[in-house]
Structure 1
Amino acid sequence: MCKDQDARARPGSYASPPCMATEVDPAYFDPLAVDPEQARDVARWRRSERERLRSERLALSADYRAELAVRVAGHLDEFLAARVGAIPGRVVSGYWPIKGEFDLRPWLVALHEKGAVIALPVVEERAAPLVFRHWHPGMTMERGHWNIPVPPESAERLVPAIALSPLVGWDGAGYRLGYGGGYFDRTLAAIAPRPLVIGVGLQAARLATIYPQPHDIPMSAIVTEDGLQFADGSGR
């Protein structure tokens, strides 16, 4: 049994790190950990917050989002220099921006030029962990899940040491509100060793709590245009 299950059952309390089957599938329900009515209430609230936060993000001009992305990139450089050190040879997973997310592709290109190995996440199977395929600037892409451009099937599969995770919303305990598909949580549960996961999102997308559920896995760090907002104590 996971520790602190009683604490996780209380709305507004923070979950302990997930364990065992609860990490694998966000649809999984543990009757000893979460009241089903409370879980449904949280799911409805999250859907509403996703819609609100995405609408607010899309209302920002493209130029302003680009300006914020430059600021985020600078803060990411500062964080990685302090937390990781040398970047050459490290596998860094980014993302292809959609729905008003920060466009950090120029930052990924800069990392590539510094010697990092860049990967992008790919949905190869629905309701399964993501895989990570090698990407480099100028690569011919193909259409993946949700029509997001992804590296071709022939690209090498990699295991990231550092992974970016775009945030729809976030809280001060390091938990992420994503799009609701559960792909990122499944992926983190399946990767060993777990990468240094950096959530990136708007400062204005901070929530008092996302009401963490047993499947939710906190980020290693959260970075916004205002800088580092959360970092765990692992020292990795």
Structure 2
Amino acid sequence: MWKDRFGEAPGKVFSAYWTIKSEPDLRQLMAERHKASITVALLLVETKAAPLTFRRWTPETRMVRGDRNIPVPPPDARIVTSDIAIAPLLGWTTEGYRFGYGMGYFDRTLAALEPKPFVVGIGFSEARLQTIFPQPHDIPLDLIVTEKGIQTVRDVF
């Protein structure tokens, strides 16, 4: 069961992000998922102030520069629907809320998806916050993982 939820099962789509600034680097995890015959996708901005798009990625994908000069799969890469989505955390709370770069893309994306993917936030334990003062549009994550292990579990197992 847990393997299905965390992108270990072939046939699932595992989406991640391309690391920027001090975010945890997921490239090795992405390559491992690909090698295990799991479809890997990267989140990218195709339209400003709209939900993100999930485009298929492989270790051989020739990346192009996207929004804010972040490397992304090219426009001809297949669009997929994510089963398991990984989100970067600049900050997080024990209730599963995340603090990001403040553009609202990730929450806008989760609100638009049906069914909603299982969402895992990846960050550092020192980034835990007392609160982010969640707004009605903020959507809590299902799980938070840091270098110290699982920090937040919302009916996962």
Structure 1 length-normalised TM: 0.64
Q: Report the Cα distance in structure 1 between the residues aligned to 2:7 and 2:48, rounded to whole angstroms.
A: 36
Matched, 1:191 2:113: yes
CA RMSD of aligned residues (A): 1.7
Structure 2 counterpart SS, 1:157? coil
**% identical equivalent positions:** 52
How far residue 81 of structure 1 moved from its aligned partner, in angstroms, is 3.2
Match of 2:60 in 1: 138
Structure 2 counterpart SS, 1:223? strand
Q: How does 1:1-236 map to 2 (within 5 A)?
A: 80-81=2-3, 83-84=5-6, 86-233=8-155
How far residue 185 of structure 1 moved from its aligned partner, in angstroms, is 0.5
1:146-178 residue CA offsets vs partner (Å, 9 max, x unmatched): 000100100100000000000000001000001
1:206-229 residue CA offsets vs partner (Å, 9 max, x unmatched): 011111111110001000000001
Q: Report the Cα distance in structure 2 between the residues aligned to 1:83 and 1:195, rounded to whole angstroms.
A: 9
When Rg is computed on C-alpha atoms for both structures, the one with the higher figure is: 1
Q: Which amino acid in structure 2 is aligned with residue 107 of structure 1?
A: L
Runs (4+) of structure 1 exceeding 6 A deviation are none
Structure with more of its chain in strand, by fraction = 2
Structure 2 length-normalised TM: 0.95
Structure with more of its chain in helix, by fraction = 1
Q: Which amino acid in structure 2 is aligned with residue 175 of structure 1?
A: Y
Q: Whose RCO is larger (CA < 8 A, sep 6+)?
A: 1
How far residue 138 of structure 1 moved from its aligned partner, in angstroms, is 1.8
Q: Report the Cα distance in structure 2 between the residues aligned to 1:139 and 1:203, rounded to whole angstroms.
A: 32
Q: Which amino acid in structure 2 is aligned with residue 97 of structure 1?
A: T
Cα distance change on mapping 1:194 and 1:96 into 2, 3 Å: same
Cα distance change on mapping 1:97 and 1:86 into 2, 3 Å: closer
1:59-115 residue CA offsets vs partner (Å, 9 max, x unmatched): xxxxxxxxxxxxxxxxxxxx9538458521110001110011111101110111011
How far residue 128 of structure 1 moved from its aligned partner, in angstroms, is 0.3
Cα distance change on mapping 1:85 and 1:142 into 2, 3 Å: closer
Q: Where does structure 1 lack aligned partners over 5 or more consecutive residues?
A: 1-78
1:98-153 residue CA offsets vs partner (Å, 9 max, x unmatched): 01111110111011101110000110110000010000002111110000010010
